[in-house]
Structures are given as C-alpha cells and as structure tokens.
Structure 1
Amino acid sequence: MDDASASAYQHAVLLGRFVRAEVASALGVTEQEAGRVEEALTTLRLLRPMPGRPDELVPVSPDAAAADLVGPAEAEIREMQQAVSSVKTQMLGLLPAYFETRRRRNQAEAFDVISDVGVLQSMLDEWGTRCRVELLTSQPGGSRRPGAMETALPLTLDRLHRGVHVRHLYQHTVRSDLATTDYVRAVTAEGADVRTTDELVDRMLIYDREVAFLPEQHVEGRSPGAIVVREPTLVAFLCKVYDHMWAGAAPFTPGEEDATDIADDLKRSIIRLMAQGHKDEMVARRLGMSVRTCRRHIARIMEEMESTSRFQTGVNVALYGLLGADFSPSGAAAGEAAGLGTS
C-alpha cells in the first residue's frame, strides 16, 4: 500500500464509503489514479461491496481485511503442520525398535564393509553430526589433496563449537604444507589438538570411542571404501593404539614447533627404514614424502656421516650407535647386515 492508497482509505473511513470522484477531488489526483487506488484497496480486502448495493464500496476494518486475505493461507499452513506432525509421530514411534534391532545387529556383527564411496561419505557425515564427545583422526601422508583442508575446516570448527574434543595425528612432513598449516592454525585456535609423528600405520577415524572407520585394503579398479568397526572390544583396542601413537607424537602448533627436533626425528626414521632394507620409494611412502625429498634427506645424511656409499653409511651408523641398542649388526659387513648396503 502506497501513501495515496492509505490516504484514500482514511477518506473512505471518514465518509463511510468510497466514491471514486470524491476521492480524486479530496486527494487532488485524477480519476484514473483514484481507480488504481480503488483496485488496490479492493485487492487488499479493505473495500467491499455494500450488501444489497453491489455498486457501492464501503471500507472494512484492517483486522477483518487481514483475516479475509490470509485466512486460506493460514488454513493451508495448519493442515501442512498437522501432516508434518503426524509423519514425525509415526516415524519416531519406530525409534525404540530401530535402536533395539541395531543393538542386536551390532552384537552379531563386529564390522561392516562399505565399498560404496557415496554411502561411506553419508555415514561419515552422520557420525560427524552425532559426535558429542571426541573425534580422533590419524591421517598418514604428506600434503593433502587440493581443496581437502578448505572442505574440512568448517566441519571441524562446527564440532569444536559443539564441545567435541578433536585430535588430529599427521606425519611430520605436513609441517611444510601451507594448506595443512593454515588448517591446523585455525582449528588449534578453537581448541583442537594436533600432533605429528614420523610414521602412521594407516588412516583411522574414531567417533566418541564408539565406532571406528578404517580404510578398505587390497582394492583394485575402484576407490577404496572403509571398514566400520562397532564391536566395543575392537574399538577399545583401536583407541589404545591411537593413544599410544599420540603419546609418542610431537605437538604441532604452527609457529611454535621446534624444527630441529622434528628434523632429527625424520633423520632417525630414514636411517631405521634404510637399515631394514627398504628402498628409497618405500622409505618415502612410509614417511609421507616425495621420493625426491627422501633422496635429498638421504644425501644429507650420507654427507653428515662422511660416507660416499650406503655401505659406508651403514658402517658409520653402527659405529656411532645412531640406531640405539636394538641395532647390533655383526661382522665387518655391518652395512649389509643393516640393509644399508642394498641399492
């Protein structure tokens, strides 16, 4: 309603009727404009024909006009609300049977194999929403795939704001990844705990210490799914494994970490894996770094050990005791015994 319509309505209320010519004269507008105002007021139910005199329009109170105008819509809304309430009541009535049946199923089935990636993502979303106490994640490898951290950030912040304690375990190599560092800085500012270690067994997500998601193994020709573990004893064991890895990991707070300690840890891990006979490709994969980066570390180690070959490096490692008491090769070919003599 514009100012002209409001003034015309007030004039009609004052006279008890709406006459187009009188309204045009009173408002100083053309009869064509008065006709437009009449149409607007009629549409808004503020004017209606007088009973017995259909050609004469009389004003109607705003509350009566509003009831006439929105009454059908309100009735439709009430019907929809009743229908929604009925559906909810019927569905919620199935909850006891659902939880009891699921409890029996969980007792009978220690785990499920979810091969469909779409179904798996839906389950992860559901558990992420239901999580109330704690989320534990273990994510091996180096740099995350493009966009992964941007997608994960709002989800993690939402869980933190709901009071969920979030713990992330990464490998040391992510400390040089800009996207991961930005993500860690944002979530630790909101209360998340993040640590890194040299090696991680595999990817793992544990929600509220009730259900664990582990990657599907030995999959060819499709994207791997996950194993969903619900059996309490198995989940408790996985939690102990996670807590053990967590205890040996180094806190990761961007800008505050001790780069020297992390570098020494990586160096020892590379030496240990070389000593076990692993080639450069396997060492790189185990430590979540590229083969080029791995070889650069190996070259630096050989330079520090003042050796010109892997064999000589193995001998020097044994002499310097860099692998600790557990490393005790016998004989002159210490490098070969340690696996460092292999190419």
Structure 2
Amino acid sequence: MPELDQVCIRIYAALVRAPHSSAEDVGASTGFPPAVVGEHLADLARLRLVVHSVGRWSAADPRVAAHELLDPVEERLRAEHRAAGTALRRVAELRQAFMELDPLHREGRRIASRTGGVEVLIGRDAAGAAMLASALEAAEEMAVMHPPADPGGRVLDQEAAQRDLTVAERGLRLRGLYAHTALPDLELRSHVDRLARLGGEVRTMAAPFAHMVVFDDRVAYLVHRAGDEDGPDGTCTIVTRDPTVVRYLKDLFETAWRDGTPVQADERGYGEALDEVHRMVAELLAEGLKDETAARQMGVSVRSFRRHVAALNSGLGAESRFQAGVEAARSGLLP
C-alpha cells in the first residue's frame, strides 16, 4: 500500500480545488515536475483518493476511499487477530499439559541416574531433542568435543550450532573443542565470532577422540557414527547420568581443553595452530599411510591433505616426502 506523503496531500488538495484537471494542470498549480506528478497520482489512485477519466483527474471522497480500501484490510486483520488469539490459547494449554508431564519425566531420569542407568538414543533427531532439553535445563555449562568432519562433509552441524547459541544466550559457560583442520572453514569461523560476542570459548586440538557433550557435570552424551544398524542416519548416542562416568568424561575433556589452542575471534586461517597441523602431517607421513587414509584421519579431503604436504615440504625446504620426514625429525616436529 502506497504511503500518503506530503506531495500526495498537496496534489489531492489541488484536485479538490480544481476537479477534472489534467496532469499538466496539476503540475502547473503545484509546481511539481511531470514525473513527480505522474508517480504520485498513481499512488493516490491506488489509495482510491483520486479518479481518472478521459485524461482528467478528480479528488474522491476520502470516506468512500477508506470504506473501499481499508475496511476489508481491517476486517482481515481482526479475523487474523481472533485466530491468533485462539491459537495462542491452544499453545498455552498444550504448554501447561507438557509441563504437567515434566515431574514424571524427571522422576524417571532420577531413578535411572540412581541405578546407574545408561540410555541409548538411535538417530540424530532423538539425540538432538535430548541434548536441547539438557541445554535448556543446564545451570552452569556445556562442554563439547567435536570430531573431525568426514572428508567433504560439513564442519559445522547446524543443529549443534543452534544448541551452542541457545546455551550462550542463556549466559552459561560454553566451551567447544574442534580439530585444527576445521579452522579454515568459513561457517565455523563465523560461528566462533558469534559465540565470542556471547562469551563462548573455542579451542582446537590435533585429533578430538570423541564426539562428546557434557552438561553441568550431570549428564554426558557420547555420539557414535557407524552403519545403518545404528539408525537411518547411522547415528547412535549413549546418554549417561552416572556421576562417576560423567566426571571421568569431563576430566578427559578438561585435559584436552588445557592442551588445546585458543581460537581468536576475527582470526582467519590456522592461526596459532599451524605448527600443530604441520606436526600432524609429518606424523602421518612418518607412519607411511596412504594419502586417502591420512586425509580421512585428519578430516580433510585428499586434495587438502596433499596441499598440507606441499606446504610442509616448502616450510622445511624439502624436495621429497622422505626428505621432509628427515627434516621434520631434525626440526623437532617429530619425536
């Protein structure tokens, strides 16, 4: 719907004073150029405030214009408001019904925790829903260890990224560990920047050994990807609330966190982790692994792995992989 601005009002007033005027007449009486007059006459016509007949323009009754144009809009908005009110009441009723089930759910988890129960969730959807519930219940912290991405796969899982933001926006402590090789990923870098603004912390390490999420030292999730037997997407998640097991997993995370390399907001590339990436490449070369196997272990494509090898050779002044191994040992990259 066009805006009724001061130019429209002046043109309307001119037509009230001089009905059946041409556009040229309106321009002469208002001083507006033809293009401005034409544009605003079209707006007034859409607002039903002027009528056009045989090259002449006249002002219409604004009450009739309001009835024709605005009454249907107002009625539609009122109907939508009534429908929204009904929907909101239904949502409130459902929310109350859900909350009445909460004590039952909590009691079941309390019993499972007391008896050392372990829950197995099949598929990403079940795990995602459970982790989101834990994220909303957490009171202090979420600690996450992300495994290297599959070659060619996405480094940043969108569901996990949204869970990170949910925790950080609640003002809880958030710590995330990624593989060094994830650092060049632009999506991850953008995510790190957002988390940093919310107080989140991210570090990287050579090879995260598990996909693990721990909330408040009270519940831990271990995500395993295998085959079709673990669900339609090959994902199986183990959930434990046993205090001893959760504490053990959290201690593993803390050890990895202390050794991790901090990722700075607004930093790009490998940053401080570049030497560690070169060390990983040198170690994989020393093991004599095929490029495909080494790339898979690093979580990068074969092409990216070979670029890393070329960069390592260049940095060491080596002309072959064998010579790079010798120079890596001499420089301290290899033990």
Q: Tell me the TM-score range normalised by the shorter chain.
A: 0.5 to 0.7
Q: 1:91 to 1:275 in 2, by over 3 A?
A: same
Q: Provide the rounded CA distance (Å) in 2 between the counterparts of 1:128 and 1:292.
A: 37
Q: How far apart, in 2, do the equivalents of 1:98 and 1:304 lie?
A: 57
**d(CA) in 2 for partners of 1:90 and 1:302?**
61
- Name the TM-score, length of structure 1 as normaliser: 0.60
Shift of 1:148: 3.9
Q: 2:305 maps to what in 1?
A: 294
Match of 2:143 in 1: 136
Change (3 A) 1:104 1:309: same
Alpha-carbon spacing, 1:269–1:110, altered in 2? closer, same or farther (3 Å): farther
Deviations 1:231-280 (A, max 9, x none): 11111111011111111111112334795532111101111222233332
Are residue 225 (structure 1) and residue 225 (structure 2) matched?
Answer: no
* Match in the other structure for 2:224: 216
The normalised TM-score by structure 2 is 0.62
Q: Distance in 1 between matches of 2:106 and 2:272?
A: 49
Partners of 1:162 and 1:244 lie apart in 2 by 26
Q: Residue 141 of structure 1 aligns to which amino acid in structure 2?
A: P
For 1:172, which of 168, 174, 180 is the aligned residue? 180
Task: Choose the corresponding residue for 1:145, options 154, 158, 178.
Answer: 154
Which ranges in structure 2 are unaligned for 5 or more consecutive residues? 1-85
What one-letter code is carried by the residue in structure 2 that aligns with 1:283? A
Structure 1: which 5+ runs fail to align?
Answer: 1-76, 328-343
Distance 1:175 1:104, change over 3 A: same
Q: Check whether the contact 1:132–1:162 (CA below 8 A) recurs between aligned residues.
A: no
1:202-258 Cα distance to aligned partner (Å, 9 max, x none): 211111111111123543353212111221111111101111111111111233479
Root-mean-square deviation (CA, aligned residues, Å) is 3.4
The amino acid that maps onto 1:138 is M
Contact 2:313 2:321 (8 Å CA) reproduced: yes
Bigger shift: residues 268-277 or 225-234: 268-277
Query: Displacement, 1:314?
Result: 2.8
Larger radius of gyration: 1
1:287 is aligned with what amino acid?
M
Please tell me whether the aligned partners of residues 280 and 291 of structure 1 are also in contact (alpha carbons under 8 angstroms). Answer: yes
2:154 partner SS: coil
Tell me the equivalent position of 1:246: 257
- Judged with a 3 Å threshold, the aligned counterparts in structure 2 of structure 1 residues 124 and 283 are, in CA distance, closer, same or farther, namely same
CA 1:153–1:113 in 2, change beyond 3 Å: closer, same or farther? Answer: closer
How do 1:40-55 residues align onto structure 2 when only pairs under 5 Å count? Answer: none
Equivalent position to 1:313, from 324, 330, 333: 324
Are the aligned partners of 1:153 and 1:187 in contact in 2 as well (CA < 8 Å)? no
Aligned length: 242
Q: Of 107, 112, 126, which aligns to 1:105?
A: 112
Alignment of 1:241-280 (within 5 A): 241-256=252-267, 259=270, 261-280=272-291
Shift of 1:152: 5.0
Evaluate the alpha carbon distance shift between residue 321 and residue 264 of structure 1 in structure 2; reply closer, same or farther with a 3 A threshold.
Answer: closer
**Structure number with higher relative contact order (C-alpha < 8 Å, ≥ 6 residues apart):** 2
Instruction: Report SS of the residue matched to 2:183.
Output: helix
Q: Secondary structure at the match of 1:298?
A: helix
How far is the alpha carbon of 1:155 from its aligned partner?
4.1
Alpha carbons 2:184, 2:269 under 8 Å: kept: no
- Aligned match for 2:121, one of 114, 124, 129: 114
- Give the one of 159, 172, 193 matched to 1:185: 193
> What aligned pairs does 1:76-115 form with structure 2 within 5 A after superposition?
91=100, 95=103, 99-115=106-122
Q: Does 1:285 align with 2:296?
A: yes
Worse-matched range after superposition: 189-198 or 310-319: 310-319
CA distance in 2, matches of 1:220, 1:163: 38
